Amino acid sequence: MPTSDAEGKDWSLARYERHLPNTVTDIGPGDGTYARLLRPVHRGTWWTGIEIHKPYVRRFKLKSTKTRAMYDELHVEDARTAADHLYHRDLVIAGDVLEHMPREDAVALLQRIERAGAWHILVSVPIVESVQGEVDGNPHEAHVHQWDPADMDAVLAQLGGAVEARRGYTLGVWWWSRRA
């Protein structure tokens, strides 16, 4: 679904407030959950969205010329093939998106984000069985991989850096930081 469970959002907000990034890329923003939650905290931040499903852009007003848009820059494309420079940011958010791709694609994407120079990566994925197919005509909403928290711990540890994690009842949330 283009929305996200509220679990872990307060934890994510606390880390965002601690780091106050000036540039953010939000992968698969859907209805803009993270932009609505985090953007008001630090108004000078440049927000980039990468949304694979074009109908969401208009439906959720991700980019609008009449009012202040949720995103300053919006790319309608698959994050797995997006240009590396879009990941050279203070923060890259993969919020409730990695379960929508095969594990090997998700791991490769996280590795690309790290290599591109991201300083922080926020990851949120379901950590309970979460079967989901196509939603509202969007085949990209299907869950194709079920993440185990220990597996995500290992994947992020392989990137180097420091990792903080919070495991809730339904979602796991991780904040990865590059070592200076």
* pLDDT tens digits, one per residue of 69-98: 788 999 999 999 999 999 999 999 999 999
Residue 62's pLDDT is 75
pLDDT of 26 > 60? The answer is yes
**Overall average pLDDT of the 103-130 stretch:** 95
Ordered by start, the domain boundaries in the chain are 9-177
Q: Other C-beta atoms within 10 Å of 169: how many? A: 8
Residue 64's pLDDT is 62
pLDDT of 170 > 80? The answer is yes
Within 8 A by CB and 6+ apart from 126, the residues are 96, 99, 143, 146, 147, 170, 171, 172
pLDDT of 105 > 50? The answer is yes
Contact 2, 61 (CB under 8 A): no
**Overall average pLDDT of the 120-137 stretch:** 78
**C-alpha–C-alpha distance, residues 83 and 166, integer Å:** 30
pLDDT classification of 30: cutoffs 50, 70, 90? confident
For the chain, the straight-line distance linking the first and the last C-alpha, in angstroms and rounded, comes to 36
Does the domain at 9-177 match CATH 1.20.120.1200? Answer given as no
Query: Strand, coil or helix: what is 66?
Result: coil
Residue 73's pLDDT is 92
pLDDT of 60 > 80? The answer is no
Residue 2's pLDDT is 45
Residue 97's pLDDT is 93
Contact 161, 180 (CB under 8 A): no
Structure pTM?
0.90
